[in-house]
Chains A and B, each alone.
Chain A
Amino acid sequence: MSLSPHTTPSGFRLPSIHAAPPFFTQQPNPATQAVATEQWSRLILSYAKHRNLFTIKVEDAQTTGGDWDEILRNDRINRKLNTSYLAYILEQMERSCRLAFDPPKQSISAVLYWRTPEEWAEVLHEWATSTGQLNTILTFYEIIEPPVPSPLSGVPMSILRRAINLLIKSNRAQLIAVADGEGVRFLNGSTSK
């Protein structure tokens, strides 16, 4: 038997470890588990980035036909991740700040940080600058559902808020109350601040 990388129908290249049967079992040896956790974290984040996925739920390990099927199960070797192992991996990823449970105070549903909030803040400011929307007031809705698809399309509200808060701290954005909720105005600040 040979373990080789595999390209999924969605065009994602699975690493060869994904074809190893024990990769789908939680390891009792802490050192081995640390390796497995790291591999799973990287796999989940890179897949999320590939598919532009922002959320993962513990129950994704159970359901079939969901967004996460291609990595949470491997039908070629008849293995799948069970929910308790996925829950463990998500907890570990939360500890290393690679995701945040959303809503907070539970641990079954999470928002993935395949970009950190700091990186999202830069992406957001960059987008506002390059589309000439500095100094205009934008609603949150206009940012995450822009008429022209942008890198921000579909970004969860929790990530958007954190990114905007970071920009406010560096004086590159202001929160403005608008009629139907909240809006934001991006300001021209040097990115080095």
Chain B
Amino acid sequence: MRRLGGVGIAAFDRQQLSQRSFAELSSELSQAQVDALHAQLDQFRNALVRFASTHRDSIRRDPTFRHAFQQMCAQIGVDPLAGPRKGGWWAEILNLGDWQYELGVQVVDVCVSTRERNGGLIAMDELVRLVSKLRGLAGGIVTEEDVIRSIKTLKPLGAGYEVIDVGGGKRMVRSIPKQLDEDQAVVLAIAHQAGGRVSVELLQSRRGWSLERATTALENMLLRDGICWLDDQDETNGIAYWIPSAMHWDE
């Protein structure tokens, strides 16, 4: 009886032949898959570009829309600012790169111009308020999130801008690279609640700090860091310390 495939020399040929056909088929298939994927990517990319360019103005102008867009980008793993080219492919289409850098420059402007008053420490809401004022009405609304993103884009410059959480949902931006220790963060939080005023007695009663600990923290902020001012005419305690960045200034 004759078996398919046989046992002769011809069988080897036949096997090689079928293997070759399989290989061809497989590469054809994967080529088709790659093509399909490319087509899909192109489509996705086009859709995104279309989306971005149609909604460019909304993205730049409307903070909630911008937030939603940035969240969407984060979810699909796309950074609107990243890309192979300078400023990024995204940045080019959206002009969001320029927008973000411009905001960064304005953040620096406000931080530097208020530095002599607040010692390089500014409350986030104050910063947002001053930046918005600087941009004027035409600049659209700026949110804390935008400012934080801009500060991140400033990181490569090594200026040491940093966002600090002082608790109670309050955030501050520090524009002078100085170590802010834990006690100072506590003092800042308390100052924020009291309109900028802190005293040794207040720290003792609110936080149960020892006289030495409270005095050291405040004197360091006063003498070493220059982020608070002394008041020797305080009605309650005689001596009080005022942190300009925690005070509310109306220009």
Footprint of B on A, CB under 8 Å? 1-5, 16-17, 20-25, 27-29, 31-32, 35-36, 78-80
The number of residue pairs between A and B whose CB atoms lie closer than 8 Å in the complex comes to: 62
Contact A5 B226 (CB under 8 A): no
Interface residues of chain B, those whose CB is within 8 Å of chain A, are 116-117, 119, 195-197, 222-223, 226, 229-235, 240-242, 244, 247-251
Which chain B positions have C-beta within 8 A of A21?
197, 231, 233-234, 240, 242
Residue pairs across A and B with Cβ atoms less than 8 A apart, 30 shown, are A2-B249, A2-B250, A3-B248, A4-B250, A5-B250, A5-B251, A16-B249, A16-B250, A20-B229, A20-B242, A21-B197, A21-B231, A21-B240, A22-B229, A22-B230, A24-B231, A24-B233, A25-B229, A25-B231, A25-B232, A25-B233, A27-B230, A29-B222, A29-B223, A29-B226, A31-B226, A32-B226, A32-B229, A79-B233, A80-B233
Partner of A35, one of B117, B196, B242, B249: B117
| Chain A residue contacts of B248, Cβ below 8 A | 1-3
Name the B residues within 8 Å of A1 (CB-CB): 195-196, 247-248
CA–CA, A78 to B195, complex, Å?
17
In the docked arrangement, what's the CA distance between A113 and B247, Å?
33
Given A2-B248, A21-B233, A79-B231, 20 other A-B contacts at CB below 8 A?
A: A1-B247, A1-B248, A2-B249, A2-B250, A5-B250, A5-B251, A16-B250, A20-B242, A21-B242, A22-B230, A22-B231, A22-B242, A24-B233, A25-B229, A25-B231, A27-B229, A29-B226, A32-B119, A35-B116, A80-B233
Roughly how many angstroms separate A80 CA and B232 CA in the complex, as a whole number? 11
Tell me which of B223, B233, B242 contacts A28 (CB under 8 A).
B223
CA–CA, A78 to B232, complex, Å?
12
Note all chain A residues with C-beta closer than 8 A to B247: 1, 3, 20
Interchain CB contact under 8 A, A20 and B226: no
Q: Which chain B positions have C-beta within 8 A of A27?
A: 229-230
Nearest-CB residue, chain A, relative to B221: A29
Q: Which residue of B lies closest to A3 (CB)?
A: B249
The smallest beta-carbon distance between B133 and chain A, in angstroms, is 14
CB nearest neighbor in A for B251: A16
Contact call B233/A20, Cβ cutoff below 8 A: no
Establish whether residues B222 and A28, one from each chain, have CB atoms under 8 Å apart when the complex forms.
Answer: yes
Contacting residues, chain B, for A28 (C-beta < 8 A): 222-223, 230
CB neighbours (8 Å) of B195 from chain A are 1
Alpha-carbon separation in the docked complex, A5 to B235 (Å): 23
* Closest A residue to B235 using CB positions: A78
Bound Cα distance A31, B225 (Å):
10
Closest to B242 in A: A22
Q: In the assembled complex, which residues on chain A have CB atoms less than 8 Å from the CB atom of B242? A: 20-22
Most chain A CB atoms below 10 A, which of B119, B240, B247: B247
**Most chain B C-beta atoms within 10 Å of own C-beta, residue among A2, A20, A22, A35:** A22
> Once bound together, how far apart are the Cα atoms of A27 and B247, in whole Å?
18
Contacts of A78 in B (CB 8 A): 233, 235
Q: Give the docked Cα–Cα distance between A188 and B2 (Å).
A: 134
* Chain A residue, CB-CB nearest to B225: A29
User: Which 5 pairs, one residue from A and one from B, show the smallest C-beta to C-beta distance?
Assistant: A22-B229, A4-B250, A1-B195, A22-B231, A22-B242
Which residue in chain B gives the minimum CB-CB distance to A17?
B117
